[in-house]
Amino acid sequence: MQMIKQGKGIALSWYGTGYGNGFPDVSIATVDLSPDGKVILRVGATEVGQGAKTIMPQICAETLGFEPGEVTMICEDTDSFKDSGTAAASRQTYNTGNAVLLASKAFKEAVFVEAAQYMGLNASVGLAMEDGLIWLEMLPEKRMTLVELASKITEEDRVLTVTETFTAQTTTMDPETGMGAPYWPYTFNAYGVEVDVDTDTGRVHVTKAYCVQDVGRAINPELVEGQIDGGFVMGLGYALYEDLGVKDGVIKNNRFAKYIIPTAMDIPEIQKVIVEDPENTAPYGAKGIGEPVMVPVAPAILNAIYDAIGVRILEVPATPEKVLIAIKQAGLIFE
Amino acid sequence: MSVKRVFRAESLESATVLLNEHAPEAQVIAGGTDLLVQIREEKNRGSIMVDITSVPELQLIDIKPDCIRIGAMVRFTDVVENDALKNLVPGLWSACKSVGSPQIRNLGTLGGNLANGSPAADCAPPLLAMNARVNVASIRGQKEIPLTEFYLGKGKTALQNDEMIESIIIPVSTIKPVLVSFEKLGLRNALAISRISASVCVTLDENAKILTCGVASGSLGLNPVRETELEEWLIGRTLDEACIKEAAKKFGDVVEERLAGRSSMPYKREAVQGVIKPALHRVLKNFKDMR
Amino acid sequence: MSEFKTVGKRHRRKDGFDKLTGRALYPQDMQIEGMAYGATVRSEKPHAYFTCDTSVAEKMPGVVIILTAKDVTAMNHHGVLFKDHEVLCEKKVRRVGDPIAFVVADTEKQAEAAAKAVIINYDELPALFDPVEAMKDDAIQVHDGQSNILYHYKCRRGDVDKAFEEADVVVENTYYSPFVDHVFLQLESGLSYMEEGRLVLVASSQYPHFDRLEIAEALGLEEDEVVIRNPAVGGAFGGREDITMQIHLGLATLLTGRAVKVTYSREESFYAHSKRHPMSMWVKTGATKEGKLIATEAYIVGDTGAYASWAINVLRKAGVHVPGPYEIENVKVDSIAVYTNNPFCGAMRGFGATQVPIAYEQQIDMVARELGMDPFEIRYKNCMKKGSMTPNGQVLVESVPLKECIEALQGMMEGADAND
Amino acid sequence: MFDLKINVNNEWIERQIPDGLRLLDFLRNDLGLTGTKEGCGEGECGACTIILEGRAVDSCLVLAVQCHEKHVTTIEGLETEDGLDPVQQAFLDNGAVQCGYCIPGMVLSSKALLDANPTPSEDEIKDAVSGNLCRCTGYDKILTSVKHASEIITSKTNDDDLKAGE
């Protein structure tokens, strides 16, 4: 019968998020109170599919005691928000998330100061806010809604808007020794796979995937899992299929019929574990994971291939051609 | 080139008349899965399309005691959903199921798969192995061409400009049970163009001795071919583990010679063995199951 | 009961409904009354001087304008780090796919037809495809007057030579990772138009404010004269960091006053955006017989192709991460970015840190095999923890749950065995 | 030019179109149904998937002329007065959407499957969406969503059966 050898492999990885090396890594966020009492979050975190539009309002809502549906995020137009840096470097959750946290906290303070005034209090200390209601904790009948506050501010032709900036901490490295603190924070993970290697054709099939992902804290576990799945499958493609076939500067595989990425038929069940170890400097402890989720996949698969057939594949992708020729060159015979 | 006109044929006769009338600019459009890619790249042969998707007689699957007739417009999915064909011609059934994706199988037709002359056509190896014939229609009437004489090199077939495939005819042995299998090696599990495919069609006596044998391959040359050297070697032998192993090696040698000098040879020489082995194993298993 | 009201909850995606019902609009889904269409003429040669003759194309039906380098209103350049891309190449192309002209016509078909009629006469130059060749002193220069070696990251910690002498096991290999693409599903597409005297650009981007800066600079506008509207973005993964058609569109609208749209084909998309840097990675790892990693030495060469894009940051990230998440006293790393005439490389998910574990995680496995150690055990023994110092001398002050990750992974994989 | 009569999302439409027009372009440009996306133009990605006469097909590989007098369903045709189609609802509830570009095609492939086979196996689900490339989600939550949609549909059918029996 077909000679299928099975193997397992694991890999760890680490990933320093952010621009790094002392380059100013700045995000700006604005929180406004609309005239009808709604919270508007203006932030330049582009929604590229990663979920920025979902988690930024979550961070803001958490801080203000709202359900996230009550926060409207605007990120579509350079006129309506300030620069929050690029949606890359796994930096939006940490960097822009921090700016959102700072702006939300400052907004809450500003609301309390305004509310104290309208409620005739001596100070804003001791006020609380949840679901759009502001009250004095020691005397709960002293209360007003955010909608009432907004209408009063609007009546006076004023607006309540708060903008805050977060800048991440890294340093440049010494050009000769590399000494320095190039990134912060780092995200870690440990992934494992099981593979079947068809020793007659060199085809590798990943049969199981286990992904243990450090996230600091998951703002939204559904989105974290989605990132893990997507990163795993992109890593699988990188390990087994993907190569642009550049020859003399020409991309030979410049079509989907030739540049092979995984389909639903090529993926295993992906078991996911989220490990939480909150990072103090991060918004609610959350670190970036968009890139880290891809990083350990290919080496785990390559280690599993070795475990299955005793041959090291040192060049990705581990195509059937490379695997089979490596088997033959190693003089291995599987019966 | 761009498409100037599309004529919708309502019958076989109107299709052949349109093809003749507008030859050589006219060409048939059926499932369109290859042709629309060609049109996009401006590599289509003709600027006038004769659309045969609505011709009723080309949609038929007719199973007779001595032959199966499959209309040119029968789509891969029609074969996959046909339980009778799954039992009678499992090699063809597997080949149809292995085509691209559901979307492609829902459009692509058996006639088109053969007519475009691709070396990687999934249906060709099982049909070749089963000694299938294509029935070709034109205003001059109909004629049958054995599939072995149909392919004339890369992208070239025996079809004249004003001819079209009407149906595919698969002879069915009435005496001995025929065992057919199909294996394909693609770069992934779906949306995969075959890098190597092979089909085996044998009749065996009660001791598993090979009485008749058809082996055909895809993507190992300019067009799908019958592997006559391997067939001759197999006939008269008893199909067992040892035979399969040796046959695989033999196939490797054949391919090594055929692809000598090509960069794909060192891999394909080995990998064809991994394709022919399961194809032979499957027929052996079916044989044992039947007994 | 969670301490949080919304953090940690599985809130539905805010953009899910629109995307599921077809309401979400990507740039290719947008139309503006009376808009014209663009088509890009690109280099077919990897390295050449050229002249461009648009005279035939200009007379083709529907052609509104054909833009070449001379039409760029201010600075004919852009780039995320160095301004080494030309908006439209002036006299020299450095890679296959370099933009030479931008044809604008009334319909998409007319624009494509006219683009084919633009005649480019090439005077071919020798081209560099191998970064190791490109590093030689006498190599031709991809960018005139500039070394092909763009960046050299160095890390020097401890004494690797001494450590390798003391090591019981030394493993040494060269690994390779090729050109790889993001292949986001949504092809690049963009629209530009004038609105109340300002230039509006609609294009899928990762960083609208930076796009605005680059567009304004190239066109000679103030930043507040340009508005970037970000529509739905169909995946990015780093491939939408560099400018593609945004300046071409802005220029066309600025000069003609018309709304202009362009959408790339998949084939063009492959040439239009950056690639993952191919890297060759030589790595040497030393360990004691107890399985303690004591030395890592690495030499990485990354091919950035014709343009720098993020090469410096990518090769830096590769160099920093190549020792792996392990406590290692002696580390020597060299990581070098090199120009060639290949497709240009830039950001892609993992940004240099994706290539290097191909090496470091196979190295540690090989060390374990040589020592007869379990792959989990060797990693557990060496991995970073709270308080560890990285090879760069950075203290990992908190949130380093690697041991916890390893334990959980081992538990899952062994649990799966028990169930088999 | 061709006088096309076509049923799109349960509405008969008559338009004069150029003979060589792809169904994809007809839907997007002539009818403004831009939920159908183009990702490759050669049937390799499935972003342009629509349902033609009950079967999922790539609309980049069909001429509009070939759909004369036929029924087409696009993503815009799935919502009813009762809200989202169960497939859409399941995708939303299970977090199966990221960048969203593959999603209309993915939903229609799933719907075509469930219309024909309301209780598919895992392998049948994988096969049904195997012609739809996705670069973001890794497919896992999409497969979960199709299973979930199957449960919604079956329980609804059972409810209807119960009601009918009352």
pLDDT digits (tens, 9 = 90+) for C16-54: 999 999 999 999 999 999 999 999 999 999 999 999 999
| Cross-chain Cβ contact A230/D136 below 8 Å | yes
Q: Are residues C64 and C159 in the same domain?
A: no
Q: Are residues C232 and C363 in the same domain?
A: no
Does residue C235 sit within a domain? yes
What is the pLDDT, as a whole number, of residue C1? 47
In what helix (H) or strand (E) does residue C281 lie, and over which residues does it extend?
Answer: strand C279-287
Query: What is the least distance, in Å, from the CA of C21 to any CA of chain D?
Result: 6
Contact status, residue B271 vs residue B185, Cβ threshold 8 Å: yes
d(CA D44, CA A78): 36
Three-state DSSP at B163 gives coil
Considering only CB atoms, C183 lies closest to which of D91, D95, D135, namely D135
| Contact residues on chain A for D135, CB-CB shorter than 8 A | 230, 234, 261
| Probe site for chain A from B33, B97, B267, B268 (most A CB atoms < 10 A) | B267
Contact status, residue B95 vs residue D38, Cβ threshold 8 Å: no
Mean pLDDT, residues C58-66: 98
Taking the Cβ of residue B174 and every Cβ of chain D, the question of whether any pair is shorter than 8 Å is answered with no
Name the percent of chain A lying above pLDDT 70: 99
Query: What is residue D81's DSSP assignment?
Result: T
What is the pLDDT, as a whole number, of residue C395? 98
pLDDT in tens, A10-24: 999 999 999 999 999
Residue C418 in this model has a pLDDT that exceeds 80: no
d(CA B35, CA B48): 12
Q: Does domain B5-51 bear CATH number 3.30.43? A: yes
Q: Which residue of B has its CA nearest to D132?
A: B101
Q: Where are the alpha helices (DSSP H) in C34-104?
A: 55-58
| Cross-chain Cβ contact A320/B271 below 8 Å | yes
pLDDT in tens, B37-96: 999 999 999 999 999 999 999 999 999 999 999 999 999 999 999 999 999 999 999 999
The model's confidence at residue C189, banded by pLDDT at 50, 70 and 90, is: very high
Where in chain B are all domains bearing CATH 3.30.465.10?
58-171
> Cis omega (within 30 of 0) on the bond before B24?
yes
| Cross-chain Cβ contact C20/D28 below 8 Å | no
Three-state DSSP at A279 gives coil
Q: Tokens 């006088």 belong to which residue?
A: D3
Q: Are strands A269-276 and A204-216 parallel, antiparallel or unpaired?
A: parallel
**ipTM metric:** 0.97
| Contact residues on chain D for C266, CB-CB shorter than 8 A | 39-42
| Cross-chain Cβ contact B49/D133 below 8 Å | no
What is the pLDDT, as a whole number, of residue C407? 98
pLDDT in tens, D66-119: 999 999 999 999 999 999 999 999 999 999 999 999 999 999 999 999 999 999
Does residue C14 sit within a domain? no
Neighbours of A117 (CB within 10 A): 12
Q: Which residue of D has its CA nearest to C10?
A: D95
Considering only CB atoms, C185 lies closest to which of D45, D75, D107, namely D45
Mean pLDDT, residues C60-77: 98
Which chain C residues in 160-189 lie under 8 Å from chain D, judged by CB atoms?
182-187
d(CA B176, CA B199): 19
Closest by CA position to A41, among listed A10, A11, A66? A66
| Cross-chain Cβ contact C235/D33 below 8 Å | no
Task: Single out the residue in C248, C272, C296 at which a domain terminates.
Answer: C272
| Contact residues on chain A for D141, CB-CB shorter than 8 A | 225-226, 229
Considering only CB atoms, C270 lies closest to which of A21, A189, A254, namely A254
Does residue C368 sit within a domain? yes
Where in chain D are all domains bearing CATH 3.10.20.30?
2-77
pLDDT in tens, A266-291: 999 999 999 999 999 999 999 999 99
Angle, CA of C51, C54 and C60, to the nearest 5°: 160
CATH number of the domain residue C322 falls in: 3.30.365.10
| Contact residues on chain D for A255, CB-CB shorter than 8 A | 40, 42, 44
Do A4-16+184-329 and A26-167 have matching folds?
yes
Residue A1 in this model has a pLDDT that exceeds 70: no
| Cross-chain Cβ contact A178/C14 below 8 Å | no
d(CA A139, CA D62): 71
The model's confidence at residue A335, banded by pLDDT at 50, 70 and 90, is: confident
Query: What is the least distance, in Å, from the CA of D20 to any CA of chain C?
Result: 13
Q: Are residues C283 and C358 in the same domain?
A: yes
Q: Residue C96 CA to chain centroid, in angstroms?
A: 17
Mean pLDDT, residues D114-130: 98
Task: Give the number of beta-carbon pairs within 8 Å between B and D.
Answer: 93
Query: What is the least distance, in Å, from the CA of B273 to any CA of chain A?
Result: 7
Mean pLDDT, residues A96-112: 98
Residue B232, exposed/middle/buried by CB under 10 A (0-12, 13-18, 19+)? exposed
d(CA C98, CA A90): 29
Taking the Cβ of residue A298 and every Cβ of chain C, the question of whether any pair is shorter than 8 Å is answered with yes
| Cross-chain Cβ contact A200/B266 below 8 Å | no
The model's confidence at residue C416, banded by pLDDT at 50, 70 and 90, is: confident
d(CA A199, CA B271): 9
CATH number of the domain residue C207 falls in: 3.90.1170.50
Q: Is-catalytic flag, A321?
A: no
Closest by CA position to C278, among listed C299, C304, C298, C297? C304
Closest by CA position to C239, among listed C281, C179, C198? C179
Query: What is residue B41's DSSP assignment?
Result: T
Mean pLDDT, residues A66-94: 92
| CA dist list (Å): B90 to B38, B179, C386, C387 | 31, 8, 61, 63
> Into how many domains does chain C fold?
2
Where in chain B are all domains bearing CATH 3.30.43?
5-51
| Cross-chain Cβ contact A291/C349 below 8 Å | yes
Q: Are residues C116 and C203 in the same domain?
A: yes
Does residue C40 sit within a domain? yes
Task: Single out the residue in C272, C294, C327 at which a domain terminates.
Answer: C272
Q: Does domain B178-290 bear CATH number 3.30.390.50? A: yes
Catalytic site residue from A76, A291, A321, A335? A291
Query: What is the least distance, in Å, from the CA of D96 to any CA of chain A?
Result: 8
Considering only CB atoms, A256 lies closest to which of D45, D140, D141, namely D45
d(CA C275, CA C290): 41
Architecture of the domain whose range is A4-16+184-329: 2-Layer Sandwich (3.30)
pLDDT in tens, B43-60: 999 999 999 999 999 999
Contact status, residue B223 vs residue B154, Cβ threshold 8 Å: yes
What is the pLDDT, as a whole number, of residue B164? 98
| Probe site for chain C from D135, D136, D145 (most C CB atoms < 10 A) | D135
Q: Are residues C335 and C295 in the same domain?
A: yes
Three-state DSSP at B290 gives helix
Taking the Cβ of residue D18 and every Cβ of chain A, the question of whether any pair is shorter than 8 Å is answered with no
d(CA A27, CA A165): 6
Q: Which residue of D has its CA nearest to B191?
A: D131
Name the percent of chain C lying above pLDDT 70: 99
- φ, ψ dihedrals at A97, nearest 5°: -60, -40
CATH class of D2-77: alpha beta
What's A121-177 look like in SS3? CCCCCCEEEECCEEEECCEEEEEEEHHHHHHHHHHCCCCEEEEEEEECCCCCCCCCC
- The ranges assigned to domains in chain A are 4-16+184-329, 26-167
pLDDT in tens, B112-158: 999 999 999 999 999 999 999 999 999 999 999 999 999 999 889 99
Residue D162 in this model has a pLDDT that exceeds 80: no
Contact status, residue D111 vs residue D91, Cβ threshold 8 Å: no
Q: Are residues C296 and C220 in the same domain?
A: no
CATH assignment, D86-165: 1.10.150.120
Angle, CA of B64, B70 and B75, to the nearest 5°: 140
Q: Are residues C250 and C380 in the same domain?
A: no
| Cross-chain Cβ contact B189/A266 below 8 Å | yes
d(CA D139, CA D126): 9
Q: Does domain B58-171 bear CATH number 3.40.50.800? A: no
- φ, ψ dihedrals at B87, nearest 5°: -80, -40
Task: Single out the residue in C225, C250, C272 at which a domain terminates.
Answer: C272
| Contact residues on chain D for C234, CB-CB shorter than 8 A | 37, 99-101
Name the percent of chain A lying above pLDDT 90: 96
Where in chain D are all domains bearing CATH 1.10.150.120?
86-165
- Full residue range of the structural domain in which residue C241 is found: 29-125+183-272
| Contact residues on chain B for A200, CB-CB shorter than 8 A | 270-271, 273-274, 277
| Contact residues on chain A for D143, CB-CB shorter than 8 A | 264
Architecture of the domain whose range is A26-167: 2-Layer Sandwich (3.30)
Taking the Cβ of residue D127 and every Cβ of chain B, the question of whether any pair is shorter than 8 Å is answered with yes
Which chain D residues in 103-162 lie under 8 Å from chain A, judged by CB atoms?
125-127, 129-143
Q: Are residues C280 and C145 in the same domain?
A: yes
Query: What is the least distance, in Å, from the CA of B46 to any CA of chain A?
Result: 24
d(CA C95, CA C345): 12
pLDDT in tens, C80-116: 999 999 999 999 999 999 999 999 999 999 999 999 9
d(CA C304, CA C291): 36
What is the pLDDT, as a whole number, of residue C420? 64
| Cross-chain Cβ contact D98/C235 below 8 Å | yes
| Cross-chain Cβ contact C392/A173 below 8 Å | yes
Residue B165, beta-bridge partner list? B136
Q: Tokens 């060749």 belong to which residue?
A: C133
Q: Which residue of B has its CA nearest to A2?
A: B278
d(CA A223, CA B175): 62
| Cross-chain Cβ contact B40/D41 below 8 Å | yes
Contact status, residue C266 vs residue C187, Cβ threshold 8 Å: yes
CA dihedral C212, C213, C219, C221 (to 10 degrees): 90
Tell me which of D22 and A45 has the higher pLDDT.
Answer: D22
